[in-house]
A and B are shown apart, each in its own frame.
Chain A
Amino acid sequence: MTPDYYLVLAAILFTIGAVGVLVRRNAIVLFMCIELMLNAANLTLVAFSRITGTLDGQIMAFFVMVVAAAEVVIGLAIIMSIFRARRSASVDDSNLLKY
C-alpha cells in the first residue's frame, strides 16, 4: 500500500472543502467544509508520519483536532447568536463590517 492514495484522497477532500467554503452561503455548511479541510490536512499529516516513520505528524494531528474542537465551540456559538439576532444563517447577510 502506497501512501500516495492517502495524499490524493486528502487533496480531493481539501478541494471539496475549499470549494464548499467559497460557493455555499449557509454558515453551518461552511463550517462543515472548514472541518473537512482540517481533516484533509490531518490525513496528510498522518500519512507523512507513516511515510517517515516518526510520530511528529500524528502529534500535530492531535493538536489540530484540539484546536478544531475549540473552534467549533466558539464558531457554533457565534453562528447561534447571529441566527438568533437575524433569523438567518447565511454568511452573506452578515456583511456590516465593510467600507
Chain B
Amino acid sequence: MEETVEYVQATGLLSSVWLLVAIPLASAAVLLLLGRRADKWGHWLGVLAVGSAFVLGLSYFISLAGMENKSVELSLWDFIAVGRFQVDFGLLFDPLSGVFVLLITGVGSLIHLYAVGYMSHDEGRRKFFAYFNLFVAAMLLLVLGNNYVMLYFGWEGVGLASYLLISFWYTKPSAATAGKKAFLMNRVGDAGLAIGIFIMFATLGTTQYVDVFNGVSGLAAGTILVLGLLLLLGAAGKSGQFPLQAWLPDAMEGPTPVSALIHAATMVTAGVYLIARSNPIFSANHTLQTVVVSVGALTLLMGCIIGAAKDDIKRVLAWSTVSQIGYMFLGVGLGGAAYALAIVHLLAHGFFKANMFLGAGSVMHGMKDQVDIRRFGGLSKYMKITWLTFMMGWLAIIGMFPFSGFFSKEPIIVAAFEREGWTAWLFGMAALLGAGLTAFYMTRLFILTFHGPKRWTEDIEHPHESPAIMTIPLILLAIGSVGAGFLLSTSVPDWLEATGGLGAQEEPHEAVLSHGVLTALSLLLTVAGAGLAYLLFRNGTAKQEQPAGVVVTAARRNLYSDTVNEAIFEKPGIFLTRALVYLDNRGIDGAVNGLAAAVGGGSGRLRRLQTGFVRSYATSMLTGALLVVAAFLAIQLGWLA
C-alpha cells in the first residue's frame, strides 16, 4: 500500500459529529434513570433520539459530500494516556462511516417506530427503548471511532446491548440461555480482536487508524497474517460467521425488532465493517484474504443449507442473515473493488432483511406469537400490507431482477469468479450455488407463510393486519428493498473510493466466465430454486415435524455445530471444572484438613502424659536430673571422647 492515508481536522458543522453518539446515549440514560416515571412517553423519546440522529447524520453526510478530503477526524480528549500508550477519544467521519451512520440511524429510526407498536403490550417497553438507544449509541461509536480502541469500546457496547435485548424476556429460560450463549461466543471473538489490538500496539506503538494503516506495510508478513486472523476471529464472532455462527440463530429469542435491527441489519455487520475498515491490513497479505473468502463461502453455504430445513420463521431468517453476511465476507475477502460491493450488499441487506424481520414480527403479532411456518398458510388474504412488503423483501433477497439483491449480490458472485486460478471456480461456484439455495429456502418460507392451505392452530380464527405504526415502517423498508439496490450499486462504490485505503484497487483478473453468462446463470439458478420450492410447497406441508433423511436431519440440527461445540468445548470444560472441584475438595482441602487432624490427634495422645500424679512428675524430674548428671559425668570422665 504505497499511498498514505491522511485525515483532516473537523471544522464547521462536522465538529459537532459527536452529537450522533451523545444524543441516543443521553436518551438511554434518561430512560434508565427516570424509571417508571418515563413509562408513558419513554418510547417516543427513544424514537425522537434516533430520528434526530438520523437527521443530523444526513446533514453531516451532505456536508461531507461537498468536501475535498472526505476523511474528517475529530479529536475530543485524551482517552487513555499511559506512558507510550496514547489513545485518543476521537471520531472519524469518512464515506465508509458515513454510509454506516445513515444505515444505522435510518433503518434504526424505522425499527424504533415499528417497535412502538410491536412492544405496546409489553410492560418493559421503556426499558426496551433504553437498551435500544444504548445499542444505537454504541453502534455509532463503533463505526465513528478513529482508532481501534474506540472501535473496541463500541464493539463491547453493542455486545452488551445485544445481550440485554436477546434476554429481554429473561423470565423465559430459553431467552436467558440464548443471551448467555451470544455473550459467551462473542467473548471468543472479542478476545481475538483485543489481542489483535495488543499486537498493533506492540508492533506499531499505536492504535490510531491513520498510523496503523500507514505503518502496516513495514510489518513482517507473519505479523500481518496473525494480526489479520485475530481481527477476522473478532469479526466472525460478531457477525455469526464460521466457526462462531451458532449464537446468531438462538439470538432470535429476543423481541422481533431486536432481531431486525441488531441481528440482521446493523450489529452483525460490524464484522464486515471491521474488515472493510482494516482493508490495508487485509490487502497486505494474500493468504489472509483467502482465509476470509473461505470463511465467507463456507458460512454462506452452511446458512443456506440449514435455513432450508428450519421451520421457525425467525430462525430461517436468522440463518439467511448468516448466509448473506457470508456473501459480504466473501466480498471483503476478495479485496480491491469487491470491498465496495460487500458494503453495497450490506446496505441493501440492511433494508430487505429488516423489512422481512419486521414482516415476520407483523405475522407473529397477528398469529398470537406463532413462529412455526408449518402452522401458517394463506395469510396473504388477511395481511395484505405485510404480504406485499414481505414479497418485496423476498424478491430482493433471492436476487430477482430488478430488486435490490440482484444489484448487490450478483456483482459479488462475478467478483468471486475474477479470482486467479482454480479458487475462482471454487468460490464462484459456492456463491452461485448459494444464490440458488437462497431462492429455494426463501421461497419455501414465503409460500408456506402467505400461500397454500391454512394450517393454523385452533385458537386463531381471524388474523388481523398490524396497526399503521407497524405497517408504515414496513412500507418504507419495502420501498428500500425495491429501489435501494440499483441506487446503491451505482453510487456507493464511487463514494467509497474516497475512504482511506479503500480507493486502492488492483486490476481485476479476467473472470473465468463472462459477465453476461454469470448473470444469466445466477438468475437461472434463482428461478430454478424458487420454482422448485413453489412446486414442493404450494400445497402446504405437514403440520408436525416429519422424519427425514440424513441431510435434512443434519441441517435441522444446525449441521451439528452445537454438538461439535458441546463435544469440543462444553464437555471438556465441564470435565475440567469437575476435576478442579475434586482436586480442591480432596487434594487441597484434604492436605489442610489432614495436617490439622494429624496435629490434633498427635497432641491428643501427647497430653496423656499429664497424669496429674505428683509422683510421676517427680519420677520424670529425677530421671531428667540423673540423665544430666550422667552426661556431666560422661564428659568429665572422658567416656565420650
- A residues contacting B by CB (< 8 A) are 18, 21-22, 25, 30, 91-92, 94-99
Contacts and interface: CB of A to CB of B under 8 A. Distances in A.
B619 interface: yes
A98 B618 contact: no
A39 B622 CA distance: 17
B614 A91 contact: yes
B608 A92 contact: no
A18 B621 CA distance: 11
Nearest to A98: B612
- Secondary structure at the A interface, as helix, strand, loop or mixed, is loop
Contacts of A99: 607-612
A30 B610 CA distance: 20
B622 A94 contact: no
B614 A94 contact: yes
Interface string B597-631: 00000000001111111110011001000000000
Contacts, number: 33
Contact of B612 (A21, A25, A30, A95): A95
Given A92-B613, A98-B612, 11 more contacts: A18-B622, A21-B618, A22-B618, A25-B615, A91-B613, A96-B612, A98-B610, A99-B607, A99-B608, A99-B611, A99-B612
A99 B613 CA distance: 11
Contacts of B609: 99
A59 B127 CA distance: 100
A91 to B, nearest CB: 5
12 contacts: A21-B622, A22-B615, A22-B618, A25-B615, A91-B613, A92-B613, A92-B614, A94-B612, A95-B614, A96-B612, A98-B612, A99-B610
Nearest to A24: B615
The 8 closest A-B pairs by CB, nearest first: A98-B612, A95-B612, A99-B607, A91-B614, A99-B610, A98-B610, A21-B618, A95-B613
Contacts of B614: 30, 91-92, 94-95
Q: Which residue of B608, B609, B615 has the most chain A CB atoms within 10 A of its CB atom?
A: B615
A26 B611 CA distance: 18
B605 to A, nearest CB: 10
Nearest to A23: B615
A91 B615 contact: yes
Contact of A92 (B615, B619, B622): B615
Interface residues of B, number: 12
B25 to A, nearest CB: 73
A98 B615 contact: no
A34 B609 CA distance: 24
B610 A21 contact: no
A77 B614 CA distance: 17
A98 B615 CA distance: 13
B615 A21 contact: yes
B189 to A, nearest CB: 66
A18 B626 CA distance: 12
A22 B612 contact: no
A97 B611 CA distance: 8
Contacts of B619: 22
Contacts of B612: 94-99
A96 B610 CA distance: 10
A18 B618 CA distance: 9
Interface string B479-517: 000000000000000000000000000000000000000
A21 B614 CA distance: 9
Interface string B276-313: 00000000000000000000000000000000000000
Contacts of B611: 95, 98-99
A18 B612 CA distance: 19
Contacts of B615: 21-22, 25, 91-92
Contacts of A25: 615
A99 B583 CA distance: 38
Q: Which residue of B611, B614, B622 has the most chain A CB atoms within 10 A of its CB atom?
A: B614
A12 to B, nearest CB: 16
Contacts of A18: 622
A22 B622 CA distance: 9
Nearest to A25: B615
Contacts of B622: 18, 21-22
Interface string B185-228: 00000000000000000000000000000000000000000000
A92 B612 CA distance: 8
Contacts of A98: 610-612
